[in-house]
Amino acid sequence: MRKSLPTITLPPEIKKVFQIFTKAGWEIYLVGGAVRDLLLKRPFNDWDFTTNAPPEEIQKLFPQSFYHNKFGTVTIPLEKERKIEITPFRQEAAYQDYRHPSQIRWGKTLEEDLQRRDFTINAMALAYQKQPRLIDPHHGQNDLQKKLIRAVGNPTKRFREDALRMMRAIRFSSQLGFLIEPRTFAAIQKNAALISKISAERIRDELWKILASPYPAEGINFLRTSGLLHYFLPELEATYGVAQAKHHIYDVWTHSLKALASCPSQDPLVRFATLIHDIGKPPTARGQGPERTFYNHEVVGAKIAREISQRLRLSKKESERLWRLVRWHQFTVDEHQTDKALRRFIRHVGKENLSDMLALRTADRIGSGSRPTSWRFELFKKRLAEVQKQPFTIKDLKINGHEIMKKLQIPSGPLVGKILQALFQEVEENPKLNRKSYLQKRLPIIYHQLGASAKSSKPPKEARQ
């Protein structure tokens, strides 16, 4: 059955590409994600074309283009991140080790090129001569309407050619809000173990896209039910069915997914931290039913987070942020907390991660069935902002080491540091004391106390024997 095409308006520079190739006697088609997203009326960046012209000929037609990869892709940059990419027809090449082909084989026809593509919704082409015309041998338009991700051809064969396609199926499903067609899904379940053949970086890139998508929790759920999760995040899989104490209505897995779904941050790393914040619970669970406890789960969880960071090859900076968010997620929100306690919390989390930590807490609350906030939590946020305006580190003291040495006539050395530390402790308790006149007045007293304690901390000779 031929489906009617929705109105598609192409920008002038894209129409121009069609015209230039056609005039030179070559075939030219828009393909892949661009066609899919045009039909879905979804924004996208890359305009991918395929043609029977070889790269050298494409370059002749577009002198401003560049060509420097083994896939034969010629790139024409557009404004911002956007670009046009033109690749000669390709066909399925020899696959080794369940990974992308080691060698590229050029195709002779558009049909061959569409055949090698992963899913029916990614295997449509658009021709344009006055009017757009859809070429859709695998019925991708049908699957777009049914909201289905379906492999082109035999799914098991396709996943054995390239195991990353299993992650891509789930990624597209959570980006588009589609289901995976049952035979395609069954083939992922059957072949899930092959994902171990794929590099950690490529798995992480897909995982990050799932986390950043509009349906991250659905995506993570599919990762578990397909069996893929087991091979790269077994610690998260282990939270499934782990019951919590009475006041928790959900098991750890369900709570983690609900938290992820409610995370106000768009950042995949913050969403990932939200997803794994309770990953230390299964190994720390003690007791059953209402008596169940998870003491130190944030400490154990932070250690697991570090292992996961290494496994997924996160950068040092990402790994550090993930660690901090998991390690300190159990922070107390209490109107009786001292400013000092709040400052310690800020030091632990890091100023730059505060809003992410608060986003995680909001998600954690919603994921436990609570309201997004409370008057206490609001007060806590206000106080965090207030407290940051007050002195923080020794550097913020209204007196420095040089002034201390001059005033007390002492040489530089560890004693100066000790005096600074003592002054800082006073100011941390009571920020109003951070005045030069007050600190100067305190100097001789602290000097005396420290001098005395330094002496008295050394026991008399006889006592040491």
| Contacting residues toward Mg ion, per CB under 5 A | 33, 46
Inter-residue contact 228 to 236 (CB < 8 Å): no
**87 contact choice in Mg ion, ligand ATP, none (CB below 5 to 8 Å, kind-dependent):** none
CB of 178 to Mg ion, least distance (A): 17
What are the tokens at 411?
A: 């040489």
Kindly state the smallest distance separating residue 14's Cβ from ligand ATP, in Å. Answer: 15
Q: Is 33 in the site for ligand ATP (CB under 6 A)?
A: yes
The minimum distance between CB 162 and ligand ATP, in angstroms, equals 5
- Closest CB to ligand ATP belongs to which residue? 33
- Interacting partner of 27 out of ligand ATP, Mg ion, none (Cβ under 5 to 8 A depending on kind): none
- In whole angstroms, give the CA distance from residue 419 to residue 417: 5
Does position 356 interact with ligand ATP (CB under 6 A)? The reply is no
122 in contact with ligand ATP (CB under 6 A):
yes
Binding positions for ligand ATP, 148-187, rule CB under 6 A:
162, 164-165
Nearer to Mg ion, 209 or 343 (CB): 209
Q: Choose between 117 and 204: whose C-beta lies nearer to ligand ATP.
A: 117
Q: Please identify which residue in 50, 90, 98, 118 interacts with ligand ATP, judged by CB under 6 A.
A: 118
Q: Which is nearer to ligand ATP, 30 or 279 (CB)?
A: 30
Q: CB–CB of 226/188 below 8 Å? A: yes
Segment contacting ligand ATP by CB under 6 A, of 22-30, 58-66, 116-124, 349-357: 116-124
117 binds, among Mg ion, ligand ATP, none (CB under 5 to 8 A by kind): ligand ATP
Q: Is residue 120 a contact residue for ligand ATP (CB under 6 A)? A: no
Task: Return d(Cα 346, Cα 352) in angstroms, integer.
Answer: 9
Whichever of 33 and 283 has its CB closer to Mg ion, that residue is: 33
| Out of 90, 117, 258, 277, the residue judged to bind ligand ATP by CB under 6 A | 117
- Considering beta carbons, is residue 162 or 364 the nearer one to ligand ATP? 162
Classify strands 105-106 and 90-91 as parallel, antiparallel or unpaired: antiparallel
Task: Quote the least distance from Cβ 164 to ligand ATP, whole Å.
Answer: 5
**Closer Cβ to Mg ion, 47 or 345, answer by number:** 47
Least distance (Å) between residue 169 CB and ligand ATP: 10
The residue range among 118-126, 199-207, 217-225, 302-310 that interacts with ligand ATP, by the rule CB under 6 A, is 118-126
Taking CB under 6 A as the binding criterion, the range among 40-48, 70-78, 247-255, 335-343 that sits at the site for ligand ATP is 40-48
Q: Count of residues binding ligand ATP (CB under 6 A)? A: 12
We find the least distance from the C-beta atom of residue 57 to ligand ATP, in angstroms, to be 22
User: Both tokens of residue 456?
Assistant: 């008295």
Other CB atoms within 10 A of residue 409 CB: 6
Of 226-245, binders to ligand ATP (CB under 6 A) are: none
Q: Which does 165 bind (CB under 5 to 8 A by kind): Mg ion, ligand ATP, none?
A: ligand ATP
Summarize as ranges the residues that interact with ligand ATP (CB under 6 A): 32-33, 44, 46, 48, 117-118, 122-123, 162, 164-165
